[in-house]
Amino acid sequence: MTSTRNERKEIFNSRLAALAMMAACGGSLALAQGPLVPVDGGADAPAAAPTAAPQQFQIPAGSLSEGLEAYHKATGIGVSVKIGKERLATFQTPGVSGSYTDAAALTKLLEGTGLSAQFVSEHEAIVTIRHMDAVDVTAGLQDEMPLAKFTEPLLDTPQTVSVVPKFILEDQGTSTLKDALRNVPGISMAAGESGAQGDNLTIRGFTARNDIFLDGIRDFGSYYRDSFNFEAVEALEGPAGVQFGRGSTGGVINQESKVPQAQQFVRIGTQFGTDATRRITADINEPLPDVAGGAVVRVNIMGQEGGVAGRPFDALRRFGLAPSLELGMNSKAPFTLSYLHMSENDTPDYGLPWFYNKLAPGVSRHAYFGFPDQNYLRTNADILTAKAAYNFTPNVSLQTIARAANYPRSVQITEPQICTAPSASTPVGGWVTALPTSSINTTQTCPYVPGAVNPSSILVNRNQIQVKSVEGDLWDQTQIVARFRTFGIRHSFVGGVEGGQEISNPIRYSYTISSANTVPSTTLINPNTAAVFSGTGYITSVVHTKVESVGLYFVDTVHLGRFFELSGGMRWDRMDTGYNIYQPVAPPAGGTVTATVLTNGVPGLSLVESQPTYRAALVFKPNSHGSVYFDYGTSFNPAAESISLSATLTSAGLKPEENESYELGAKYSFFAEKLQVEGAIFRTEKDNARETSATNSTLTVNAGNQAVKGIQVSAVGRLPQGMDLVVGYAYLDSRVISSPDYPTSVGQPLANVPTQTFNFFATHRVPSHVIVGVGGNYVGSRTASSTVPFIPLTYGPATTFAAGSAPCGTASTTTCYQVLSTAEKQVPGYWVFNAMVKRPVTDRLELQANVYNALNRFYIDLPHPSHLIPGAGVSALIGVNFKF
């Protein structure tokens, strides 16, 4: 029994009220900090620990910058600080008084600041933000990856790394991962597949549906990710297989969570806007310095309800809770326990129907083809994470992160369809065995012909996508980070092991009997949203999949003097997949059978896949502000990558997809590291690309090779006069290189890959302390499918041939239709513009307004081979932000 929209609203309002009460708790204002710039350090020297002999220190409490100068005079150790001079001036030190070793004295000097020190030689130490998240980083640019797998600053990391910082997310009023990634060139969005909802995207031309990570561990649940607990979002484009494992063809996305910080604060944000949108967030951080060697509790909470501009029946209802606890913040062995709960209870929308190669004619952008009280998307993500570290010496540490995650979902969504699409492209002059069929009843020819149809006569099939599923994850990742010297050459080494268990248990349903949909259809021009839902539903399959995986990896960066760094790494992954599928009861007469009816056993498949991946890179550093690099890497996509196998034994013989990537790039920082710019040229090639068989839709086959080459440039800055900037451009040339099953697709672009993408967002302070911002996105046209890039539009009359001589079908075929015209099946490119204005009222209160799609453009945002989801129309949010 599904709940009505009113019942869902009552549940949400009770949660929102509880959130508002929690957010009313008080606290103190966090200290603002400035941008990142380096402070000169000491000279290089042979690797050695600082002196172990204690000495007397008398460094008074006060400014941390003055304390570090006094420390340098007392010890002769140069300290390189990875934060800016302006920002350093905001830190205070408790001082050092008494007998300490050099290392202990520096640790004492940094106590309570959220900074940590690491000795790279007996004469040099580096001070950085501990975990890159232990202090408020919103006032500066991120200069390091938060993941210990990356030992070098972003400027020296040989890979395109686009960081979307928190200040950009806040200025844009961003609330989802999808919208955060619109700030990254080379990434495009797509609609969710029929069996998996949630965030779906491509990176540099290749699907990244399974390449989304949360704090370095794969976050593969089918849900829409909210940004309320994001510190930043990092898009690592290019070779990433050694660090992240399977997949990662075009790159990966890492969500960086908020964690406990050294300062006390409470931040509350509220947003109210068009489409009855209401959103409230609270971020509460409370240090407990006298508990367990320095404990901190942080809680982030979110509640939202609203609609989607231009889509009158869509509804979003989200609730999020993310508490975290850190113990031993000032010790050698900090421990963090965090939990994320993200629930969603939406009225979903699969948008508008295709009509052969384009959007159906005459359809309104506001049309809704579903059943508002019967369509639902309910997800509940529960993710428990424990992180621990032990610093044996300033140069050697052991780190581990363990996670238990559970992702239940329940879905019923209506997909509007008019005519069935062909399984393969046929060029002009080619022959086919049958004309397109009606989506309402696939035994009947589609009665609607392009260019000769009255839109008011078109009926739309309401295909029901119904799934209940639970995905789960038990995972551990343990690694050692070491800095050392061999023969006078400095190394930064990371090596680790990770592994665990992933499960997926979907139950799928159908409403099709004897090739006809039992759910009532509706009209294209005036769909009946008040119709009572009816139809004969039944279970088509129950699936149980379990994957046990292990991965071993290492990356070593060798510092060859001042100008060059050489890095190399290797990884080995093994996946052991068990797959069972069955149908618990026989379907009704004429129903679809996708699995053997369960009698005395469960038919199953098993597949073991193992493969190494490699990476090598060379970095040239002409000065401390820039680098030029070349990077090469491999990765692979196993057959069970999506925690699923085909129900036929044929799939067990599939080869893994194998990928090679090359990238040549440069990075540079300007204006005292307030502006970071990077650019790259690249090529990625995929062998053994998997596609659905052209002759049997239940089979998956290796369909040839694909390649993407292109260029990408981006910049992010936090400049004076309130000017924040993020801008990026990518040119992607994607092609099918070879395809035995789909020869007509060779030379065609890959699915959902725009040739050009461009994004920008800039803010500037104007008189009266007002900050205004403007931004926009351009996404080029995209094809719907790599295997069926173009489709026939018109056909000749039925032509009869003698058996064995027909130019279509099999040896027994006698009737064929010649294709007279074809067209690309694609969605057009689009521009969207946004604007923002904000003004602080007091040092604790700020007002902000955002306008989205200011020109009210009608465009297709999320394409899918079977449906089209339009972008939201013009909308606005007014926010009030509090700091205590």
Q: Compute CA 244 distance to the chain's CA centroid, rounded to the nearest angstrom.
A: 14
pLDDT at 576: 94
The domain defined by 55-129 folds into Phage tail protein beta-alpha-beta fold (3.55.50)
The mean per-residue pLDDT over the stretch 482-499 comes to 94
Q: Are 243 and 568 in contact (CB under 8 A)?
A: no
Longest dimension (CA), the chain: 103
The kind and range of the H/E element at 19 are helix 5-23
Per-residue tokens: 668: 């540079």
Helix (H) / strand (E) element for 37: namely none
Distance CA 395, CA 151 (A): 12
Spans of all domains in the chain? 55-129, 265-451+458-588+596-789+825-883
pLDDT at site 597: 54
- Residues 107-142 pLDDT 10s: 888 877 778 787 766 778 888 765 433 333 344 688
Give yes or no for residue 12 having a pLDDT over 80.
Answer: no
Q: Do the domains 55-129 and 265-451+458-588+596-789+825-883 sit in the same CATH topology, yes or no? A: no
Q: Please state which architecture CATH assigns to domain 265-451+458-588+596-789+825-883.
A: Beta Barrel (2.40)
pLDDT of residue 489: 93
pLDDT of the residue at 454? 93
**Predicted local confidence at residue 716, as pLDDT:** 95
Whole-angstrom Cα distance, residue 170 to residue 657?
39
Could you tell me which of 829, 878, 818, 882 has the C-alpha nearest to residue 857? 829
Average pLDDT over residues 221-233: 94
Assess whether pLDDT exceeds 90 at residue 102: no
529 against 48, higher pLDDT: 529
**HSE-CB of 412 using CA atoms within 13 angstroms:** 17
Q: Range with the lowest mean pLDDT among 99-103, 345-349, 366-370? A: 99-103
pLDDT at 146 over 80: yes
Confidence at 766, pLDDT banded by 50, 70, 90: very high
Enclosing H/E stretch for 851: strand 845-852
Q: Which of the four pLDDT bands, split at 50, 70 and 90, describes residue 843?
A: confident
CA distance 327 to 652: 47
Confidence check: pLDDT of 28 > 70 = no
* Residue 341 confidence class, pLDDT cut points 50, 70, 90: very high
Helix (H, G, I), strand (E, B) or coil at 34: coil
Span 284-303, pLDDT tens digits = 999 998 888 789 999 999 99
Of 265, 250, 276, which is closest to residue 114 (Cα–Cα)?
Answer: 265
Render pLDDT for 726-760 as a digit per residue (tens, 0 to 9). 999 999 999 999 998 889 999 999 999 999 999 99
Confidence bin at 690 (pLDDT 50/70/90) = confident
**Mean pLDDT across the stretch 511-523?**
96
pLDDT 10s digits, 800-814 = 999 999 999 899 999
pTM for the full model?
0.85
Lowest mean pLDDT among 33-37, 263-267, 515-519, 780-784: 33-37
